[in-house]
Amino acid sequence: MPPRTCLCGLPASYQDCCGRLHRGEAAAATAEQLMRSRFTAFGVGDEAYLLRTWHPSDRPQRAGIDRRVKWVRLEVLETTGGSVVHTEGTVRFRAHYLERGRPGEMEEHSRFVRLDGRWVYAGVV
């Protein structure tokens, strides 16, 4: 069951925020919005969305969702480019999780590009 409040950190319900993107009712307008929706997809276990939004040149066969990890909070630390007028952008973020009840965090600087008019994840900077 999806969370009521969106995991991405924006003040909206999951259904009205990242849920719309996951269901294909909307596309991410910015690289940051795509990154937030991908974080949430890991949290709700939406592997199909993760694969759909991964650049085909390095898309894995599986997204590698670990059900033992519960993603709990996201901090966006920095963005470059990635707006509605850009074709490339980066987002540096810190993702907080619980694994077997123990808190942890991971930090990544991700690259995003527009492919056929849509933002896709293009790997780590």
CA atoms 29, 59, 109, 104: torsion sign: positive
Query: Confidence class of residue 4 from pLDDT cuts 50, 70 and 90?
Result: confident
**Mean pLDDT (whole number) for 53-57:** 97
pLDDT, residue 2, reads 61
Average pLDDT over residues 77-85: 97
Residue 40 vs residues 55, 57, 73, 85, 87: alpha-carbon distances, Å: 18, 23, 9, 24, 23
- What pLDDT is attached to residue 39? 98
What domains, with CATH codes, occur in the chain?
A: 18-124 (3.10.450.50)
Per DSSP, helices labelled H in the chain are: 18-22, 31-44, 47-52
pTM: 0.95
Output the DSSP codes for 27-38: --SSHHHHHHHH
Q: Write the pLDDT tens digit of every residue in 86-110.
A: 999 999 999 999 999 999 999 999 9
Percent of the chain with pLDDT over 90: 94
pLDDT score of 121: 98
Q: Is 110 helix (H, G, I), strand (E, B) or coil?
A: strand
Q: Is the pLDDT of residue 66 over 80?
A: yes
Supply the mean pLDDT for the chain: 96
